[in-house]
Amino acid sequence: MKRLIAEREKARLGGGEKRIEAQHKKGKFTARERVDMLLDEGSFEEYDMFVTHRTTDFSLDKEQYLSDGVITGHGTIDGRTVFIFSQDFTVLGGSLSETNALKICKVMDQAMKVGAPLIGINDSGGARIQEGVRSLSGYASIFQRNIMASGVIPQISAIFGPCAGGAVYSPALTDFVVMADKTSYMFVTGPKVVKTVTGESITDEDLGGATVHATKSGVTHFVGANETEGILLIKKLLSYLPQNNLEEPPLAVCSDPADRLDEKLNTIIPEKPSIPYDVKDIIHSIADNGEFLEVQRQYARNIVVGFVTFNGISTGIVANQPNFLAGCLDINASRKAARFVRFCDAFNIPIVTLVDVPGFLPGSAQEFEGIISNGAKLIFAYGEATVPKITIILRKAYGGAYIVMSSKQLRGDVNYAWPTAEIAVMGPIGAIEVLYNRDLQAMENPEERAKFVADNAAEYREKFSNPYEAAKYGYIDDVIEPRNTRFRIIRALQMLSTKKDANPPKKHSTLPL
Ligand code: HXC
């Protein structure tokens, strides 16, 4: 018994007091402190505390630390089981050894058997250099498990320190990445190698800090101002997710009346179609208690994605954002939304789509970068999804973008439109310019041309820029009063709660990656 107590105490010290102090000085918590902050008090069951590495090369046999640089086990968050690994930077820089990888693989395997989420906290110098290919093999074994677990259990990665080299690919294979601002970074090749190979001088932060991955690469889904905030984000995220792909998400307790109306919505769409507004005002208005957990908030801001509850039912929101690039769909927005839709579909989370989209972003830059195959990803994701899909067309739904945004023909279950909806092949001015191209070219007087366009555009608007033409064909199930939107969504979600739909048997699809 004495030995057990002594050994546990030793293990809890990781790489020792000095290194713990150094960790704190950098504004970082230790691996064990992070586990304690994340899990319900007293719920942590630790595995493999007494594991040590087996390497003798480079005198490493003289540097033995119990737990070998990673804390693993399971516990609960809000009473629900999760598996966890937390890399300990105080032990050989949290570097990944053969034994360290075996510990991680053990919890990954158990998470899969039990059907519970996996949370990995990354803070590591990467592959343990002294172990060579054995360490690389450890990474590969983790990657393989990340792939097998994908779509089976939710996988969340926190980046609370360095994450460099091939090590970045485990977080990249998981569903959500959470970074802590200023104390974490991710890159495949660090500043030193970049300088040698390309001559470019760049700092860790500018190359792979949280801001870069939140705004430019889209690699991170959430950024906490610090680790504490990052941990709160993980807890909040989990509250929307089921334990695994065979379970439903938890039903939240809802104090917000299901039939709450919001008069403000009846006038929220500006009179002029070219005037933007913030779609997040609508999301906050219709969601339970106005709460919205936005995913990739700073990336591809022309589309908004995230989680809400409707009368307690966990739901994914996808919404065009007229406030940014007029809500056009571009490459990044298509990829962002496609990934989110596929996540929701994999984990039985219904999707509500709010549509106000003038079309795909035009221009050579988008075409050259592949808006065709990237836009196709979003069509694919919606068309493949079998979870309940509710669509509300708020204003513009033009051309291919109408089809993409969860249209009836892509198996939308309930498709509503506000009276302000405009559903057509293209906007009025563009349409008139195509339809009357020859007449317009024959007109020399610009004023005469402008009047001609305006007159015909008015006729076009009368015909197509409303929801009734689409409703006439049953592509829109109903035109609803905006103030009733919350209530109508909740009723649709309740009706769809027993929805069954499936795709034909196949090994997997060949979606245009
Ligand atoms: C073994 C390592 C290590 C590693 C750090 N340490 N990285 N030991 N293998 N990969 C040790 C250091 O020797 C040091 O030991 C302690 O951890 C803390 O490191 P410091 O350098 O003192 O800390 P800091 O100044 O904060 O710098 C952190 C760091 C730096 C930026 C992460 O350590 C670093 O650049 N490490 C190497 C990163 C790297 O190139 N890794 C390989 C990536 S490629 P002492 O005893 O002094 O405390 C890769 C391939 C994966 O990972 C492939 C997967 C497919």
pLDDT in tens, 437-486: 888 888 888 888 888 888 888 888 888 889 999 999 999 999 999 999 99
Strand partners, 187: 164
Q: Reduce the DSSP state of residue 379 to 3 states and report it.
A: helix
At residue 457, the pLDDT reads 85
| Cβ-based burial of 445 (10 A; exposed 0-12, middle 13-18, buried ≥19) | exposed
Q: Which helix (H) or strand (E) holds 334?
A: helix 331-346
By most ligand atoms within 8 Å of CB, the mutation choice from 63, 95, 133, 183 for ligand 1 is: 95
At residue 158, the pLDDT reads 98
Q: Which atom of ligand 1 is nearest to the CA of 204?
A: 31
Query: Whole-angstrom Cα distance, residue 93 to residue 69?
Result: 8
Q: Reduce the DSSP state of residue 280 to 3 states and report it.
A: helix
Q: How far is the CA of 30 from the centre of ligand 1 (A)?
A: 16
By most ligand atoms within 8 Å of CB, the mutation choice from 17, 18, 25, 92 for ligand 1 is: 92
Q: How far is the CA of 228 from the centre of ligand 1 (A)?
A: 24
Q: How far is the CA of 95 from the centre of ligand 1 (A)?
A: 6
Q: CB–CB of 383/376 below 8 Å?
A: no
For 2-238, CATH number out of 3.40.50.10420, 3.10.20.600, 3.30.540.10, 3.90.226.10 equals 3.90.226.10
Q: Is 400 part of the annotated catalytic residue set?
A: yes
Residues of the chain with pLDDT under 70: none
Which residue lies with its CA nearest to atom 21 of ligand 1? 93
Distances (CA, A) of 186 to 35, 165, 299, 385, 503: 21, 8, 17, 31, 37
Residue boundaries of the structural domains of the chain = 2-238, 263-427+466-498, 428-464
At residue 310, the pLDDT reads 98
**Fold match between domain 2-238 and domain 263-427+466-498:** yes
Q: How far is the CA of 227 from the centre of ligand 1 (A)?
A: 21
| Cβ-based burial of 265 (10 A; exposed 0-12, middle 13-18, buried ≥19) | buried
- Whole-prediction pTM value? 0.95
115, 190, 399, 400: which one is catalytic? 400
Which residue lies with its CA nearest to atom 35 of ligand 1? 125
Query: Whole-angstrom Cα distance, residue 146 to residue 126?
Result: 17
Strands 162-164 and 118-122: unpaired
Looking at the domain that runs over 263-427+466-498, which CATH code has it been given?
Answer: 3.90.226.10
Q: Which atom of ligand 1 is nearest to the CA of 124?
A: 32
Is residue 450 left, alpha or beta, with left meaning phi > 0 and alpha meaning psi from -120 to 50?
alpha
Total Cβ atoms within 10 A of residue 343: 21
Q: Dig out the tokens for 413 from the structure.
A: 């279950």
Q: Is 360 in the pocket of ligand 1 (CB under 6 A)?
A: no
Q: Is 401 part of the annotated catalytic residue set?
A: yes
Q: Dig out the tokens for 162 from the structure.
A: 């360095």
Query: Whole-angstrom Cα distance, residue 114 to residue 348?
Result: 18
Residue 217 is classified by DSSP as I
Q: Dig out the tokens for 274 from the structure.
A: 């070219």
Nearest to 374 by CA among 512, 199, 238: 512
401, 417, 470, 471: which one is catalytic? 401
Q: How far is the CA of 173 from the centre of ligand 1 (A)?
A: 22
Query: Whole-angstrom Cα distance, residue 109 to residue 126?
Result: 22
Q: Is 383 part of the annotated catalytic residue set?
A: no
Q: Is 129 in the pocket of ligand 1 (CB under 6 A)?
A: yes
Q: CB–CB of 478/468 below 8 Å?
A: no
Q: Is 165 part of the annotated catalytic residue set?
A: yes
Q: Which atom of ligand 1 is nearest to the CA of 165?
A: 44
